[in-house]
A and B are shown apart, each in its own frame.
Chain A
Amino acid sequence: MWSRITYTLRETWASFKRNVTLTAAAIITSAVSLLIFGATMLMREGFDNLLVTWEDDVEMIVYVNAGTTDEQRSVIDDALASNEGVTVRSFRYCDAECSLGEAEQVLAGRPDVLAQLNLDNIPSQYKVIPTEATDVNTLRDLQADLRGRENVRSVDLAEDQLDLIGKLKNFFGLYTLLLSISLLVAAVLLIWNTIRTAMFARRREIEVMKAVGATDWFIRVPFMLEGLVQGMIGGLGACGALWFINERWTAGVRDFPLNSGFVSMVVTDGFLYQRMGILMGIGALVGAIGSGIAVSRFLDV
């Protein structure tokens, strides 16, 4: 058993050395495609963070001054309730605790600002979902009405903020995904070609192996392992580059103005590491598919 393992590893390494340029090309292509794929995932998460305040069809947010009592707040409650079924389909109250949780996502790129927020100074908010028939002008009337109420800090409409963000998210999400998929296909084809070349270079060896009674799997495994390792090295490279880019971005975003929205576009809570795991998995899969096709197609044992 041990001699088989050492044989397989030795042959895989020898094949790597024999095919340096093609192997490097396959690894670089898979790394670049995985990096773009990983960056797409991070970007989408960043946009999602930016849009977190507007989740679930919320079209209007009424910010209430910190420290407002439930009794003082009832005026706003009543105003919204009186519009329920007409302009407003539903609304919910997000108290200070809920707002602080949201801020942790939105201000992830600015821990210094986040550190200054607490349950006593953060505004609470009403999330308002309009009825389907409500047009923007009616919502603007409601916005103007609520703005005049006591303890209302501000009233934001999604219309003013969401359009551009949504368009950006869809644009970048779609095109970078298409680009990374195309590059992943290129990586599969390159790995496939590398393995085919490796098999061609070792055709006499394969012939002898078959003649002396080596099993199909014994012949195939070093080639499959080679493809798998290429994909995984590509994945590792992509993870390293993604980690570096994310570190630089997270550090750089602190210099952006608070209201630029960019401060929301950082990932937290191990999101990056989860996605790095996914990239490694896809890298291995790309390698396995490329080498698997080559081996089953060109190694007639």
Chain B
Amino acid sequence: MIRLENVTKSYSPDVVALRDASFDVPKGEFVFLVGPSGSGKSTMLRLLNRQERPEQGSVWVAGRNIIDMPSNRVPHLRRNIGNIFQDYKLLPNKTVFENVAFAQEVIGKPKHVIRKQVPAVLELVGLEDKHDRFPDQLSGGEQQRVSIARAFVNRPLIMLADEPTGNLDPGTGEGLMRLLDRINQTGTTVLMATHDQRIVNAMRKRVVQLERGVIVRDQARGVYD
């Protein structure tokens, strides 16, 4: 589903974010990307989204090398990728329902599809009774669930999560991980960058560790360090 081949990405000659990184993620796998700040985790996620392009190597997503993909195809690539952010990136002037529906609306999904699929995904994340609330009326955990619902509503093949539990207390973070695990069970590949040692150790999923842009460990059913 995801393949990086000898990828090198630098922002300046002195700042090399990834150095000759290679790894494979088969369909339906759950992978943690771990490592200290500045180790290249977020850069890797940005490369998979085609927000960045590497100087060397190739990046394959769903069977396509996305490095040479024409710009007008990039939106279609992104429709197969759900993004979860540490700061949720919810739109404050829209309700929970509208925030989730927004992801369908902007890619031209018809209204009747939105009316059917949004309540279903809100039920999945446990927010069906809060569909008319605004983000500032929700707790941090609930806001992140809305963010997950928005990322998953178009049934992407891949979910990329960048520190999704970074702003949450441990209990809420665990609940969120159960939700991501359920989504992973549906066949969605999940790649999650995190610093959360407790969660990584508890989940015992594959762990890819980065240090100064280099993959130093790739361990099945791994722990944080």
Contact = CB atoms under 8 A, between A and B. Distances in A.
Interface in B149-188: 150-151, 154
Given A3-B111, A205-B91, A208-B91, A213 B78 contact: yes
A239 B81 CA distance: 50
Interface string A83-100: 000000000000000000
Q: What's the interface size class on A, roughly?
A: 10 to 19
A210 B78 contact: yes
Contact of B79 (A3, A208, A213, A219): A213
B91 A3 contact: no
A209 interface: yes
A46 to B, nearest CB: 52
Nearest to B154: A212
A215 B151 CA distance: 17
B83 A7 contact: no
Interface in A267-294: none
Interface stretch (B13-21, B57-65, B101-109, B210-218): B101-109
A167 interface: no
Interface in B77-104: 77-81, 83, 89, 91, 102-103
A212 B74 CA distance: 11
Contact of B108 (A4, A208, A219): A4
A213 B83 contact: no
B106 A3 contact: no
B110 interface: yes
A204 B76 CA distance: 20
Contact of A211 (B76, B78, B80, B105): B78
B61 to A, nearest CB: 13
Contacts of B12: none
Contacts of A4: 108
Interface string B139-157: 0000000000011001000
A209 B106 contact: yes
Given A205-B91, A207-B89, A212 B108 contact: no
A215 B80 CA distance: 14
Contact of A3 (B80, B110, B154): B110
B36 interface: no
Contacts of B154: 212-213
Residue in A1, A205, A209, A211 whose Cβ sees the most chain B Cβ within 10 Å: A211
Contact of A212 (B71, B79, B110, B111): B79
Nearest to A7: B105
Interface in A205-250: 205, 207-216, 218-219
A1 B108 CA distance: 7
Contacts of A219: 106
Contacts of A210: 75, 78
A212 B75 CA distance: 8
B194 interface: no
A1 B75 CA distance: 17
A3 B89 contact: no
A54 to B, nearest CB: 60
A215 B106 CA distance: 8
B93 to A, nearest CB: 9
A213 B76 contact: yes
Contacts of A213: 75-81, 106-107, 154
A211 to B, nearest CB: 5
A212 B78 contact: yes
A7 B106 contact: yes
A218 B78 CA distance: 14
Nearest to B78: A213
B89 A214 contact: no
Nearest to A211: B83
Contacts of A211: 49, 78, 83, 89
B107 A3 contact: no
B121 to A, nearest CB: 13
A107 to B, nearest CB: 61
B89 A212 contact: no
A219 B91 CA distance: 16
Contacts of A7: 105-106
A-B pairs, top 9 by smallest CB distance, nearest first, are: A213-B79, A213-B78, A214-B106, A212-B103, A213-B75, A211-B83, A215-B75, A209-B106, A4-B108
Given A211-B49, A212-B151, 20 more contacts: A3-B105, A3-B108, A3-B109, A3-B111, A7-B106, A204-B89, A205-B91, A207-B89, A208-B103, A209-B106, A210-B75, A212-B83, A212-B107, A212-B150, A213-B76, A213-B154, A214-B75, A214-B107, A216-B71, A218-B106
14 contacts: A3-B109, A4-B108, A7-B105, A208-B89, A212-B79, A212-B83, A212-B154, A213-B75, A213-B76, A213-B80, A213-B81, A218-B107, A218-B108, A219-B106
